[in-house]
Structure 1
Amino acid sequence: MSKQEFKSTSPVGQVRISGAPTPIRRMTTSQQVYNALRDRIVGLELLPGQSLSRVEVTDTYGVSQMPVREAMQKLAEEGLLVIFPQSKTVVSRIDIAHAQETQFLRLSLELEVIRRLALTQDRSFMDEIDVLVARQERALEAEDMVEFSALDHSFHRRMCGLIGVESLWDLVTARSGHIDRLRNLNLPDPGKSASIMECHHRIASAIRAGDPAAGEKAVRDHLSGTLARVDDIRKRHPDFF
């Protein structure tokens, strides 16, 4: 691996239209290594079954072994790495059962988020949502899938933030490594990215119209696509499972 710089991909009750700025927190070296490795695992730069050398990681990021050990241990706890003591560390295979559990959690959260946003009286926040959708459309037109995926994350996280449950989105995201790898395998499929955009438009339209039933239907359609194609994905990438 060549030398790399750290880079982060992650930009109940009343809806929070505004509030205090989010505090800037300094990340530890361990957290930076964790973020960088996790991004590469979820983004399939580091493939399921691939060996990962602690020495090589320390050299790549120019850090000591302690933060690398801590980062790799955290990734192992999330099920993204498998550490064989005194032997080797490998990127885990994709766990379908884990992906299904995470999908259940995310669906439960987002159905309630959409319902509350659709039922709120003040929908001035829709300008912000519309900007995110428009930016994602431009990324799709430019065939910039990295930006497209980042804006997809921002779209859902921001809606959770509007009702004050952004931390719950972060909890779901922290255990989403397996389902996110499935999505990234599915994203290049013809029509997948266009389907995502269609669902985002439907979600935004349902909130604007104050129609929770339409919003919930759009969320179910949006979140069901990848797991519905899991057998096909597994056939095309058998070594990843």
Structure 2
Amino acid sequence: MDTLFSFNNNEPVNQQIYRLLRKDIVECVIPPGKLLSEKETATRFEVSRQPVREAFIKLAEAGLVQILPQRGTFVMRISAKRVADARFIRQALECSIVRRAASERTDEQVMLLEHNLHRQELAAQNRQIGEFFNLDDDFHQLLTEIADCALAWDIIESIKATMDRVRFLSLGEVSPPQSLITQHYQIFNAIRDQDPDAAERAIREHLQELIYTITPIAQQNSDWFEDK
């Protein structure tokens, strides 16, 4: 986590720190219970404490950390209830998104989706889990862009951090990338064929994957999950 980082001048520093810390937590680099120090984080990124403090607040809003006055900021364990709630909301949004995408997609947008899927396959073949994880997100974000509702992705992104921790932990035997790619192709085929009903069925089945994976993931990583 000591890798040097160059900030993008086109985006607030606190947002960039938030994204980097979010990635570290989601990808299991920072474990549950870990104390996040404002001072150490500010030193890591060579910034003042203010943008770090703002990033911590965003992490708390995403359900990734708990800020305890006079004690510090701690990475939270995974809440199965929060995961279930986020999945429910995401499914409701994405079912509507893919229906519109199937009705309004252009040939160029179909090509963009197909290109993303080819990159997913390469990442899976090369066992590049982090790359596949990012391409999976890109695929779903593309759906919102095809539906001309980019705001939907902002909403999804704001609620899915806890889901992402389970997704990352499951990218092995429980929910291997190739099975997810197969589900992505079902969504793609329905959108390519301009079949809103098939697209909705495919995205619903895809997002229900989490219902079946969270129990084995929690059993395999019991120290990462809340007891209740």
Give the structure-1-normalised TM-score: 0.87
What does 1:82-121 align with in structure 2 at a 5 Å threshold?
A: 82-120=66-104
CA shift in 2, pair 1:31/1:124, >3 Å? closer
What does 1:78-227 align with in structure 2 at a 5 Å threshold?
A: 78-120=62-104, 122-189=106-173, 192-227=176-211
Aligned residues of 2:174 and 2:217 also touching (Cα < 8 A): no
Aligned to 2:4: 4
Aligned residues of 1:3 and 1:59 also touching (Cα < 8 A): no
Aligned residues of 1:113 and 1:160 also touching (Cα < 8 A): yes
* Cα distance in 1 between the residues matched to 2:201 and 2:70: 50
* Cα distance in 1 between the residues matched to 2:55 and 2:38: 10
What RMSD, in angstroms, separates the aligned Cα atoms of the two structures? 1.9
* Cα distance in 1 between the residues matched to 2:60 and 2:193: 44
Letter of the 2:50 counterpart: M
* Cα distance in 2 between the residues matched to 1:122 and 1:161: 11
- The answer to whether 1:35 aligns with 2:19 is yes
CA shift in 2, pair 1:64/1:44, >3 Å? same
Letter of the 1:151 counterpart: L
Aligned residues of 2:25 and 2:31 also touching (Cα < 8 A): yes
TM-aligned CA deviation for residue 199 of structure 1: 0.7
* Cα distance in 2 between the residues matched to 1:73 and 1:190: 32
Unaligned runs of 5+ residues in structure 1 are 9-24
* Cα distance in 1 between the residues matched to 2:108 and 2:52: 44
Misfit runs of 4+, over 3 Å = 120-124
* Greater fraction of residues in helix: 2
Aligned residues of 2:98 and 2:147 also touching (Cα < 8 A): no
TM-aligned CA deviation for residue 178 of structure 1: 0.7
* Cα distance in 1 between the residues matched to 2:39 and 2:104: 53
* Cα distance in 1 between the residues matched to 2:186 and 2:201: 9
TM-aligned CA deviation for residue 225 of structure 1: 1.2
